[in-house]
Amino acid sequence: MTTYVILLRGINVGGKNKISMLELKRFLEDQGFTSVTTYIQSGNVVLQSEQDAPTIRQVIEKGLPSKFKLDSAIISVLVLTRAQLQKIIDHKPEGFGEQPEKYHSDAIFLIGIEAAEVMPTFSPREGVDVVWAGEGVIYSQRLSAQRTKSRLNKIIGTPAYQSMTIRNWNTTTKLLEIAQKVESENSDS
């Protein structure tokens, strides 16, 4: 069994595409996934499966609109192995996410698009925003005291934004902890 972290883009955002995490968990279990664990309301799931990531993505993307009332045009699914998420965290820029009282730090996960393609979309404001390209992710950090001056929101209207899902750094690291726990608890089974 492989442990996966599933990031759903476009659910429970701005009052649209509401799905309770309990219903999402049941739906995923009905699809044959095991050790399903959800985290907060923004579409974060850890599960185990013998299927590969592309198959899992296809099963979830096809099944969600048939089970829930959704605007499926804005729903997309990113499936990462626990090892892939570990690599994203391990390869963060030096100091990234280590001063939460000073900076808002986000992992902008890329879905089917490369960092080099989307980096020109970002227009960081000097002294406020900094962005770094990673493998499958853009690391974004904003000075908390100046966050209203941040240019991060400018990406929302771009075509590339449809291929991104954003998680704050705390959520990102918490998902890895959950994945490690699920993997550890089920390694003896």
Total number of domains constituting the chain: 2
94 and 157 assigned to the same domain:
yes
Task: Identify whether residues 129 and 179 lie together within a single domain.
Answer: no
Residues 130, 58, single domain; the answer is: no
Question: Residue 26: which H helix or E strand, with range?
Answer: helix 21-30
pTM, rounded to two decimals: 0.92
Q: Which neighbouring-strand residues pair with 70? A: none
pLDDT tens per residue, range 164-187: 999 999 999 999 999 999 999 987
The residue type found at 55 is T
Same domain, 182 and 142: no
Which tens digits make up the pLDDT trace of 88-141? 999 999 999 999 999 999 999 999 999 999 999 998 899 999 999 999 999 999
CATH for 103: 3.30.70.1260
Q: Which domain holds residue 162?
A: 87-167
- pLDDT over threshold 70, residue 73: no
Transcribe 103-147 into DSSP letters.
EEEEEEEESSS-HHHHGGG--PPTTTEEEEE-SSEEEEEEEGGGG
Say whether both 73 and 28 belong to one domain: yes
For residues 53-59, give the mean pLDDT.
96
